[in-house]
A = this chain, B = another copy of it.
């Protein structure tokens, strides 16, 4: 009923209007004909300090209205390459129990994985990546490009093995994640135990501390990253606390001294061409940033991930034709 035909596409309408979905993609309860599913995982039962990441998906949806259809830098238009929909939020019915919640998240992602949908998610705290791996790494282990201030390969803490500081130890132990095909970028911050990331080192993950990052620059690091993950199936996990807290104050465990958003964008873009099977942006905790900027940054990183993942999925779809 719009005079301008273009307005029948909600992405063309003024961006402050309408129901807010991820990137203004159509909201779909049905999963038919979806290649990439944008999914919210509103869970923060795994945080060890400041909560609030449960509100991440909604605020990222809100701010992601500022995203548009195409990537100016790479020229990728994900919507031309794949069918993309906002699938809503993963079903979490028992949020008071950490392990049961993780099981519910796993079940949800198993269902979409079964239908061949590649997930690009918005957390939620970092504990949610473990059940995603359980769902999508069932046939083969995955490699990972991991942006974060913390390796998240810690041990039991406060009575649990499954908090947001340990998912990747669990993922390796469960045979889901290949540590040799894992690189962790942006690591920093004071420690209670100098050996806290020993698991990463012992299992052969490549750990890039901020000092090295500052010394070598993002390009050199990302060349190494591409070599490490190779052409096996690879997942991108972006914890916003990898960024300096000025870019992402709305997060649970900020660590001063991180990389910039511009560096992050260029790093993600450099992953184009890899065999990408999904990705997530986690630890956006909106209550700690009333300005909404953290969620805008989260939405921007989600869009960058979507572009390279869609490029990879698009390649596979073409081959299948």
Contacts and interface: CB of A to CB of B under 8 A. Distances in A.
A286 to B, nearest CB: 9
Contacts of A40: 17-18
Given A244-B262, A261-B244, A160 B94 contact: yes
Contacts of A67: 190
A288 interface: yes
Contact of A291 (B45, B247, B249): B249
B58 A16 contact: yes
Given A97-B159, A262-B214, A191 B14 contact: no
A4 B94 CA distance: 10
A115 B17 CA distance: 23
B42 A14 contact: yes
A94 B159 contact: yes
A19 B18 contact: no
Interface of A: 1-4, 7, 11-12, 14-21, 27, 40, 42, 44-46, 48-52, 54-55, 57-58, 61-62, 66-73, 75, 77, 86, 88-89, 91-98, 100, 111, 158-160, 162-163, 187-194, 209-211, 214, 244-247, 249, 253-258, 260-262, 265-266, 287-291, 293, 296-297, 300, 303
Closest 8 CB pairs of A and B: A94-B159, A287-B287, A290-B290, A51-B51, A68-B190, A257-B262, A256-B300, A96-B160
